[in-house]
Structure 1
Amino acid sequence: MAFPGESAEYRTARNRLLDQELELRRATEALAAARRELPPGGVVPEDYVFQGAGADGTPTDVRLSELFAPGKDSLVIYSYMFPRHPGDKRPGPKAGRTAQLKLEEGPCPSCTALLDQLDGAVEHVSPHTNFAIVARAPLPRLLTFAQERGWRRLRLLSCADNSYSRDYRAETADGSAMPMLNVFRRDGGEIRHFWGSELLYAPTDPGQDPRHVGTLEPMWNLFDLTPEGRGADWEEQLSYDR
């Protein structure tokens, strides 16, 4: 490989980097294979009842078992920090009904940025895998913000009235929300936990992000390709001044 105008120094360094990229690809494939070979996880302790919206938009109870469509035995659930973590002081929405909420009752900007990206991916994911977003906010708040944000494909559920968040590590001991992602597997009549993004709670080296769902986020991965990188002090916002 060679690109117009590149120096020999650049090509030598780029080839070294390519070797690292090859190793990362091998490690990524090996990690995915090892994840698929995990032994059965714990049986889900109860058939959690969430609140969702029916076809006509009216609230309806939805059990965890009902999130599995026929022929699709894996279920991915992302725990949306709505309300946000109490220590998050980034600005809330500037307009709409959600802007009327107290800051601590509003949505997390980082989670929102991820869901902006996943809303487009769901159309391609849904033929193969069940996918849902749960949050402790009341369902009307979730649906209102989804409309304000322009989301069209995400399945949004409220877990305000069950212990799902607490049981599956989407809450800290003091009840603060955490952005946990969990995968469940249906096997016959049983539903078991398959995998969770426990990297969220693992120690990080200085200057590192948890990256517990890092491979899902096009935005951060795109930044990694640039000379500026992710930026040491930059964080997602609900809106930006351009």
Structure 2
Amino acid sequence: MITFPNESQEYRAARKTLLQKEIELRRAMEDVAVARRALPPGGLVPEDYVFDGLGPDGKPARIKLSELFSPGKDTLIVYSMMFPRHPQETRDVATSGGTAKLARADQPCPSCTALLDQFDGAIDHLEAAGFNFAVVGKTALENLITLGRDRGWTNMRLLSSAGNSFKRDYHAEADDGAQLPMLSVFHRDADGIRHFWSSELGFAPTEPGQDPRAVGTCEPLWNLMDFTPEGRPDWDEQLQYAGACCH
């Protein structure tokens, strides 16, 4: 057992009890990961979706879903962001950079943007470990590229699904056309490309006082807050902050 300077016996006893709960949580997370990996094969994708993206030469190109799988890497992680933002979104819009030129309804979701700010630095590591990653938005490719430039993203592949039904088919778009966030995983096998898993927790009922945590286990920002005495505040991400050093 470890202790820290000047802590009380009361603190150590409570921390020991909490540690047991943390161990139980770790076991539960491992159990969920094992169960996820053991899922039977998912459905084959209905078509080889074609997206608008940037080709190897940096110029706009038509890119098939199958082309997002690098040689020897059979798993593709896709984050479907809300771009344009949800019609009921009330948070402030970007007021600087190229994204600020877009109308309010056409600007991106601040929460999706904040999550991707966090993901961008991890992509080199993710790809080195053997995985593919892409971001899909329903907006025009030009808007995605502009947002990436405004945010300083340098590692993520940005794709527009404006010309296909990918987001609708994989529940990242509501029946009325409103955009929804979704993290999806696809796997390539001998039969083709299959859907493996998506963040369906975002569609599950929530319990009083609980965060939906649809992608909660992979979002550093909110998880860091969970370690603090204050916990998760009554607060939402913004596209810009007064006095911030960046973005």
Indicate the TM-score class for this superposition, using the shorter chain for normalisation: over 0.9
Structure 1 residue 55: Cα displacement: 2.6
Matched with 1:7 is 8
> Root-mean-square deviation (CA), in Å?
0.9
**Amino acid aligned to 1:239:** Q
CA distance in 2, matches of 1:39, 1:54: 34
CA distance in 1, matches of 2:48, 2:94: 34
The percent identity for this pair of structures is 60
Matched with 2:18 is 17
CA distance in 2, matches of 1:224, 1:178: 25
Unaligned runs of 5+ in 1: none
Matched with 1:88 is 89
- Partner secondary structure for residue 88 of structure 1: coil
Where do 1:28-39 residues align within 5 Å?
A: 28-39=29-40
1:136 aligns with 2:177: no
Structure 1 residue 109: Cα displacement: 0.5
Residues 31-61 of structure 1 show CA distances to partners (whole Å, capped at 9, x for unaligned) of: 1011000000011000000010123322101
Matched with 2:212 is 210
Where do 1:63-212 residues align within 5 Å?
A: 63-127=64-128, 128-212=130-214
Residues 1-20 of structure 1 show CA distances to partners (whole Å, capped at 9, x for unaligned) of: 11111111111100000000
Residues 111-164 of structure 1 show CA distances to partners (whole Å, capped at 9, x for unaligned) of: 000000000000100121010000001001110111111110010000000000
CA distance in 2, matches of 1:203, 1:104: 28
Residues 160-202 of structure 1 show CA distances to partners (whole Å, capped at 9, x for unaligned) of: 0000000000011211101111100100241110001000100
- Partner secondary structure for residue 126 of structure 1: helix
1:225 aligns with 2:227: yes
- Partner secondary structure for residue 176 of structure 1: coil
TM-score after normalising by structure 1: 0.98
Matched with 2:46 is 45
CA distance in 1, matches of 2:124, 2:58: 20
CA distance in 2, matches of 1:23, 1:130: 31
User: How many residue pairs get matched?
Assistant: 241
CA distance in 1, matches of 2:237, 2:5: 35
Moved more, 160-169 or 47-56: 47-56
Matched with 1:59 is 60
**Amino acid aligned to 1:198:** E
**Amino acid aligned to 1:84:** R
**Amino acid aligned to 2:156:** L
| Runs of 4 or more consecutive aligned structure 1 residues displaced over 2 Å after TM superposition | none
